[in-house]
């Protein structure tokens, strides 16, 4: 029974790690779709989201089951309760990648963003990819020293988000209202992606240290 219990706890972590991998693929492909106006890749992100949603349900059910049957305490309890919330954050990160992909599909075959902003969105995509890889490592290793790195990527995303705001509001903006709104929403999806990653990292710290969880 103990061994089975230990396996179940491992399963939560393993499923969460797989979720970070799938979300990493989703945001990478969504960014590539955005930069290349690639409808096929956008479609792949949209269709791939079902697997992330299913894992969210799987983690939640597993956490329920363990809570009911094993009455976990201390770190285990925090993992079981926190697992539900981490899975929810990851599921939401997948949704944000889908939002980006749907925007590509909506504008296809036209480009979704003006060419001069491609470099900024490429940088956002890189930061988003790295932040989700980092939370994957945090969940897997429980190494909370990666928290600073995650914070840095999130700061990068916030900075790029502000840069894009400045770009669309500048007097030089020549692409009209619709493109400005598109850029703002796309940029916000990346920025929120970073926020959710930080939430997951903080949750791991809470599980490992038992220190109060601050959102």
Print the binding letters for residues 33-52 with a copy of itself: x by CB under 8 A, - otherwise: --------------------
Q: State which of positions 181-210 bind a copy of itself (CB under 8 A).
A: 181, 184-185, 188
Instruction: Give the largest Cα separation in the chain, rounded.
Output: 67
Q: ∠ CA 115-132-166 to the nearest 5 degrees?
A: 35
Task: Tell me how many residues contact a copy of itself (CB under 8 A).
Answer: 33
Burial 13-47 (b: 16+ CB within 10 A, else e): bebbbbbbebbbbbbbbbbbbbbebbeebbbbbbe
- Tell which one of 145, 166, 172, 215 touches a copy of itself (CB under 8 A): 215
- The vertex-178 CA angle with 41 and 48, nearest 5°, equals 20
For residues 159 and 43, what is the distance between their CA atoms, to the nearest angstrom? Answer: 29
Contact 87, 56 (CB under 8 A): yes
The footprint of a copy of itself on residues 80-139 (CB under 8 A) is: 80-81, 84-85, 88, 91
End-to-end CA distance of the chain: 35
Q: Which stretch binds a copy of itself (CB under 8 A): 17-25, 30-38, 40-48, 63-71?
A: 63-71
Token look-up 């285990």 returns: 76
- Interatomic CA distance for residues 28 and 94, integer angstroms: 11
- Do the beta carbons of residue 25 and residue 132 sit within 8 Å? no
Tell me: does residue 172 bind a copy of itself (CB under 8 A): no
Tokens of 130: 């790295």
Shortest separation between residue 130's beta carbon and a copy of itself, angstroms? 25
- Which of these segments, 109-117, 118-126, 142-150, 171-179, binds a copy of itself (CB under 8 A)? 171-179
Nearer to a copy of itself (CB atom), residue 17 or residue 180: 180
Q: Does 67 bind a copy of itself (CB under 8 A)?
A: yes
> Using the rule CB under 8 A, which residue among 68, 110, 145, 148 binds a copy of itself?
68
57 near a copy of itself, judged by CB under 8 A: yes
Q: Which stretch binds a copy of itself (CB under 8 A): 2-10, 40-48, 105-113, 170-178?
A: 170-178
């Amino acid at each position: 029974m103990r061994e089975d219990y230990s396996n179940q706890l491992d399963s939560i972590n393993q499923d969460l790690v797989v979720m970070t991998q799938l979300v990493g693929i989703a945001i990478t492909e969504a960014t590539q779709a955005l930069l290349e106006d690639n409808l096929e890749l956008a479609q792949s992100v949209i269709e791939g989201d079902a697997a992330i949603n299913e894992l969210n349900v799987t983690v939640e059910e597993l956490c329920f089951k363990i809570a009911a049957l094993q009455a976990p305490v201390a770190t285990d309890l925090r993992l079981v309760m926190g697992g539900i919330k981490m899975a929810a954050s990851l599921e939401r990160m997948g949704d944000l990648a889908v939002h980006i992909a749907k925007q590509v599909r909506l504008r296809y075959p036209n480009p979704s963003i003006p060419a001069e902003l491609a470099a900024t969105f490429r940088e956002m995509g890189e930061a988003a990819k790295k932040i989700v890889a980092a939370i994957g490592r945090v969940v897997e290793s429980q190494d909370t020293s990666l928290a600073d790195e995650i914070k840095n990527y999130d700061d990068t995303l916030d900075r790029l988000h502000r840069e894009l705001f400045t770009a669309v509001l500048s007097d030089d903006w020549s692409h009209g209202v619709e493109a400005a709104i598109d850029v703002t929403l796309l940029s916000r999806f990346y920025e929120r992606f970073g926020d959710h990653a930080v939430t997951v990292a903080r949750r791991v710290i809470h599980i490992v240290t038992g220190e109060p969880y601050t959102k």
